[in-house]
Structure 1
Amino acid sequence: MRIDVVSIFPDYLAPLDLSLIGKARRDGLLDIRVHDLRVFTHDRHRTVDDTPYGGGAGMVMKPEPWGEALDALATQGDPRPVLIVPGPGGEPLTQRTARELADREWLVFACGRYEGIDERVYEHAADRMDVRVVSLGDYVLNGGEVAALAIIEAVARLLPGVIGNAASLDEESHEDGLLEYPVYTKPAQWQGRAVPDVLLSGDHGAIARWRREQQLHRTARRRPDLLHASAAADPDDLALVPAGPGDVGELLTLTHACWLTTGIENDTLQIPAQHETYESLAASLQITSTYVVRSHGRLVASARGRLDGDAWEIERVMVAPDLRGRGLGQWLLEQIEAQAPAEATAYSLFTGERSLGPLRMYRRAGYRRAGQGPFGRTVRLRKPRA
């Protein structure tokens, strides 16, 4: 990935040479270039700001140096870059945003100062860049450099090879919409405080359940705004129940919504669920064990299973698109696994090879790749039954 940063204080970006980001630069995984905006001025004072039209306190960054700087960068590469302008008036930085940006080849950061950058710069840049104003939170900083450092670290650590153990990214805060569970290391006893017994038990199922409960409790206590009545995945509020004829209409809507997204991610129209009809879906209830989840009357999730040899074949694990990223998918997977008949010795499923969110969720749950899926651009995953 290439990253360019434009600032009137280029020395502010020196921390990009430290820690894992600095190592990634030295290893050639990141091409980070820092530019001094004042190079693009033409007066002896190297002026980058002026008074605002309409009056008011403070100064505004002039359009001329910014226009020249961004024009110079736009001619240096083929991929259309994303121009990120850190500012309190932008979209909030989330883990989802970081993952979106990590999929791009080239990011350009425009670090504003004073009262901000002349608005015409955004319009000018949009001709050759995808412009995004991104905020770290509901507060104001002196300039965009601190925010640029934070955004670059949030994005760069997601790139292959930057973090030594890529699996460590799977269970972090916000990866499934919840905060991370508490973590412990040796010694088991410290200053009269003990590590929870369940973490010493060796029972991986019990550990997974404990961690899930801790995620919910911590999120409810520290960030209740992240929880949703339909997405907390609390067994006291949600239940997996067999689907009936009365569910077919809503189930068809959910199916098309979910598999349209999968088709776009994987650039394919070969997925049978994309072509499901009311009649074919109603008929499938007779040959598969199909389950639905409702919240406040709304059908929000569904999954189905069938025994195929010694494996419980899990199909169509679906969560309403507006409720994704909040942990409901992981809970749903656990519930459909629990429906497996006694003779099943393994769980099996397939998903799109480019469906990064589902692939992360299945990997966290213990599934591993077991070959190609039943049709184009899908992969088969399998997990032994405990």
Structure 2
Amino acid sequence: MRIDIVTLFPELCQSFLGASILGRAADKGLFEAHCHQIRDYTLNKQKQTDDYPYGGGCGMVLYAQPIADCLREVIRQCEEQGRPRPRIVFMTAGGQPYNQQIAKRLAKCDSLALVCGHYEGIDERVIEAFADEEISIGDYVLTGGELASLVVADSVLRLQPGVLAEEQGYQEESHWDGLLEYPQYTRPEVWEGRAVPPVLLTGDHGKITDWRARQAHARTAARRPELYKDWCLRHPLRPRRWKRSERAELIRTDAAWEAAAAIYAEAWQGMCASLCTPAYVAEHTPDHMLAEMKADRAAGWAFYLHSTAGVPDALVGVCHKTGEIGRLYVRQDARGRGIGALMLEFARKKLPEHPAPHLFVLDCNLPAQALYLRMGYRWEGVHKVYDPAENPDTVQFCRELKMVYAPTKNEDKTSGN
């Protein structure tokens, strides 16, 4: 790959590109970088590159002519090397927000030219004439585009084959697949009373991979919910196949009702421990939940109990009158095995008379929302609000959201994991 930076400070850019990992990669010929001084292309004796803006205002604006001539020279050099026209990117405050997906796209270019703005900006006419796109690295203003161009250059060049020692080095990083990276640890095992998570010391790579995946999902959901929502929408999920040891049956016997009530109480108490008062949580015993389910059954609900090797581990309910799916709970020690997705799909198929079944979920229950999004459910609005100022049993404000099954065509056909 060839990368060109059009700038008023080529020395600054060149020193960065010649240092550390990028510097070693350039020495190996894994890419070539050229930094061009805009002043070298001015037509006035003073090497002036800017002037006052038409229409008045503070600051100075970069001339179109020297930038245009510099870009023409970059294009000529690429042609001389047998390269296609470079993709020309202007670094501007009004450009599209930069992210890893754009970095991956730009990394596929044979040649890339980055133009650094300065002062009040660049004459719009040269942007209109040459720019393939404009990019901003964030919602803030810098004194010049050099730092922004180096951010783009670094993120693009490190994706070139051979720049990093291992391809896995960037495929597991934050934002590569839309998720934040899992937490990292090194020696010593205990530092100032803080220990490394035990799973990382087991040597069991399967368990470590699973732990890291869960951490990446949890961290992204908590810190960047908008990223996690986007990830869920781009990664539709189909449930795994049923195992021979699994079965789901309509709850009829007293033993099945008691097992379901125990699963319901355990999951509900765990979910609501931080949302409700301890006294209110304590009220929701298995007996209390059993009474709730019996009342729901009288109102038209049917409940199904999932078992693995004869041991009950999940519950789901459907209402044939309204098309609602509810009471989807998995026993704590059975989570992470795909049972929730399995039972959600099972419940939907139990409602053939309702092509768009719905369910309700708390806005703070991010794992459940992620599951529902990946399986084709979409938010329709707020169903209830739980406000501590109005409800004495509530200690944390939260909302109950309604989600309706509305998959896209791609989600109907795509498998996820």
CA distance in 2, matches of 1:187, 1:52: 58
CA distance in 2, matches of 1:95, 1:230: 13
CA distance in 2, matches of 1:200, 1:43: 66
1:230–1:300: 8 Å Cα contact kept in structure 2? Answer: no
What is residue 48 of structure 1 aligned with on the other side? 49
What is residue 85 of structure 2 aligned with on the other side? 80
CA distance in 1, matches of 2:186, 2:94: 41
CA distance in 2, matches of 1:194, 1:168: 25
In angstroms, what is the RMSD of aligned CA positions?
Answer: 2.9
What is residue 112 of structure 1 aligned with on the other side? 117
Q: Which runs of 5+ in 1 are unaligned?
A: 251-291, 305-315, 319-331, 334-386
CA distance in 1, matches of 2:26, 2:209: 36
What is residue 218 of structure 1 aligned with on the other side? 219
CA distance in 2, matches of 1:18, 1:107: 20
- Are 1:197 and 2:202 matched, yes or no? no
What is residue 241 of structure 1 aligned with on the other side? 345
Within the candidate set 84, 89, 95, 2:94 is matched to 89
The alignment partner of 2:143 has SS state of coil
Taking structure 1 as reference, are residues 119 and 241 closer, same or farther at Cα in structure 2, changes over 3 Å only? same
Q: How is 1:308-347 mapped onto 2 (pairs within 5 angstroms)?
A: 317-318=414-415, 332-333=416-417
Instruction: Please state how far the C-alpha of 1:244 moved relative to its aligned partner.
Output: 6.7
Q: TM (normalized to structure 1)? A: 0.62
What is residue 63 of structure 1 aligned with on the other side? 64
- Are 1:146 and 2:154 matched, yes or no? no
Paired AA for residue 121 in structure 1: V
Taking structure 1 as reference, are residues 302 and 63 closer, same or farther at Cα in structure 2, changes over 3 Å only? closer
CA distance in 2, matches of 1:150, 1:96: 14
Shift >6 Å, 4+ stretches: 232-237, 242-247, 301-304
Taking structure 1 as reference, are residues 4 and 302 closer, same or farther at Cα in structure 2, changes over 3 Å only? closer
Instruction: Please state how far the C-alpha of 1:303 moved relative to its aligned partner.
Output: 9.2
- Equivalenced residue count is 262
What is residue 26 of structure 1 aligned with on the other side? 27
2:179–2:231: 8 Å Cα contact kept in structure 1? Answer: no
Taking structure 1 as reference, are residues 83 and 236 closer, same or farther at Cα in structure 2, changes over 3 Å only? farther
- Are 1:177 and 2:178 matched, yes or no? yes
Instruction: Please state how far the C-alpha of 1:245 moved relative to its aligned partner.
Output: 12
The alignment partner of 1:149 has SS state of helix
1:83–1:110: 8 Å Cα contact kept in structure 2? Answer: yes
What is residue 123 of structure 1 aligned with on the other side? 128
- Are 1:103 and 2:108 matched, yes or no? yes
Paired AA for residue 71 in structure 2: L
Deviations 1:272-324 (A, max 9, x none): xxxxxxxxxxxxxxxxxxxx9332302269899xxxxxxxxxxx754xxxxxx
Deviations 1:242-274 (A, max 9, x none): 697999xx9xxxxxxxxxxxxxxxxxxxxxxxx
What is residue 364 of structure 2 aligned with on the other side? none
1:114–1:143: 8 Å Cα contact kept in structure 2? Answer: yes
Paired AA for residue 297 in structure 1: Y
Paired AA for residue 345 in structure 2: V
Within the candidate set 298, 310, 321, 2:406 is matched to 298
Deviations 1:188-211 (A, max 9, x none): 222221111111223333322322
- Are 1:10 and 2:118 matched, yes or no? no
1:238–1:294: 8 Å Cα contact kept in structure 2? Answer: no
Paired AA for residue 123 in structure 1: E
Q: TM (normalized to structure 2)? A: 0.58
Paired AA for residue 4 in structure 1: D
Paired AA for residue 405 in structure 2: G
Q: Which runs of 5+ in 2 are unaligned?
A: 238-335, 356-373, 378-403
Taking structure 1 as reference, are residues 102 and 171 closer, same or farther at Cα in structure 2, changes over 3 Å only? same
Which of the pair has more CA radius of gyration? 2
Taking structure 1 as reference, are residues 300 and 198 closer, same or farther at Cα in structure 2, changes over 3 Å only? farther
Instruction: Please state how far the C-alpha of 1:230 moved relative to its aligned partner.
Output: 8.0
Paired AA for residue 294 in structure 1: G
Deviations 1:196-238 (A, max 9, x none): 1111223333322322221122223322221218818897985
Q: How is 1:255-270 mapped onto 2 (pairs within 5 angstroms)?
A: none
1:293–1:301: 8 Å Cα contact kept in structure 2? Answer: no
The alignment partner of 2:229 has SS state of coil
